Amino acid sequence: MEDLLAAIAESRPTSALAHVNGLKLHYLNWGAIGGHSHLRRLKPAATTILLCHGGSAHCHWWDEVAPQLTEYGRVLALDFRGHGRSQWASQYGLAAHLDDLIAFVRDHLRQRVVLVGHSMGGEIAMRLAAGSPQLLSGLVVADASPAGLPLKTRLIWRWKRRNQSAVRPEFPTREALIARFRLSPPGHNLTPAALAALALKGAEQLTSGNWAFRLDPKTRKLTAGWRLPRCRIQDIRLPVLIIRGEHSRLVSERQARRMQHRIPGSKFKTIPSAYHHVSLDNPDATATAIGEFVESL
């Protein structure tokens, strides 16, 4: 166990770019520690765990989870187009993100893939699993719903997106950027220091000296591409784990249980003390849930 914990503590990701649909998509590769035979629980070299963030987020949402999963396989964390260090694009929306994810898995991953999607990433992952099940070995849906956001929340976000500026906001200092950073929806367990660190991982200093988030503001605009047909989750014929934060304001336990009932053979896990952002609020429990699921495949 001490060797395992030491190996996890030493895990450092490498940054890489993949050419997908004419864009350069960034991802972090955390590798796998399965090369240490005395640490191996299964054959990690045969498994890739692909972590997908939610809207307006980035790959570092998984920084506290990813290293704990390296004993189960090679771990990658993707930045969607226009997010993090991925290239900006002329078109955004769930349809574009879905096309990118399908192409990334199909063209760049040769091993069996367990797809993990949080929030928007979970909506996209469910649609990939329903439409292209041959690309995956398993699916983890983290605080996401096939129907998207609750109606009241959708109406509020729709108004915000329609009034969202296409101009990238800049801040005169790093401290000003940190002060502006918010998690959406509100509710989390992060300390001010951890929240500031997360903000800076998704930011950059411009040549002008100002600071800005690594996010194309157009990703938040409401466009036709943000609407997809309702996902027929009953068509998913893969092993599925549904994760919900105990205090989530976006996915109720009733809704999560309904999803479990509709997806044949799926499992359900509540992440204690977590709100919507389960990988931030309780990374240990989130990693344990995902790891045990991967190990069961």
Domains of the chain as residue ranges with CATH = 2-161+230-296 (3.40.50.1820)
* Predicted local confidence at residue 106, as pLDDT: 97
Please report the pLDDT score of residue 125 as a whole number. 96
pLDDT at 228: 60
pLDDT tens readout for residues 146-205: 765 554 555 445 545 555 557 899 999 999 999 999 998 889 999 999 999 999 999 999
User: Is 151 in a helix, a strand, or coil?
Assistant: helix
Secondary-structure breakdown of the chain: helix, strand, coil percentages, each rounded to the nearest 5: 40, 20, 40
Average pLDDT value over all residues in the chain: 87
| 3-class DSSP assignment, residue 73 | coil
C-alpha separations of 192 from 64, 273, 285 in Å = 16, 18, 21
- Rg (C-alpha) for the chain, rounded Å, is 18
Which backbone phi and psi does 190 adopt, to 5 degrees? -75, 145
Which 3 state secondary structure label does DSSP give 138? strand
| For the chain, percent of residues with pLDDT exceeding 70 | 82
Q: Nearest to residue 173, comparing CAs of 213, 197, 205?
A: 205
- Bond before 185 cis per omega within 30 degrees: yes
Cβ within 8 Å of residue 180, ≥6 positions away: 169, 171
The pair of three-digit structure tokens given for residue 171, joined into one six-digit string: 């801040």
pLDDT number for residue 199: 98
Average pLDDT over residues 48-52: 98
> What integer pLDDT is reported at residue 86 of this predicted model?
99
Alpha-carbon distances, residue 275 vs 213, 271, 286, 290 (angstroms): 23, 9, 12, 17
Query: Given the DSSP bridges, would you call strands 240-245 and 138-142 parallel, antiparallel or unpaired?
Result: parallel
Mean pLDDT is highest, among 27-36, 44-53, 105-114, for: 105-114
Q: Please check the confidence at residue 54 and state whether its pLDDT lies above 80.
A: yes
Q: Which of 44-48, 95-99, 151-155 has the highest mean pLDDT?
A: 95-99
Q: Is the pLDDT of residue 4 over 90?
A: no
pLDDT for position 164: 57
- Report the percentage of the chain scoring pLDDT > 90: 72
Confidence band for 145, pLDDT divided at 50, 70 and 90? confident
Which is more confidently placed, 87 or 33? 87
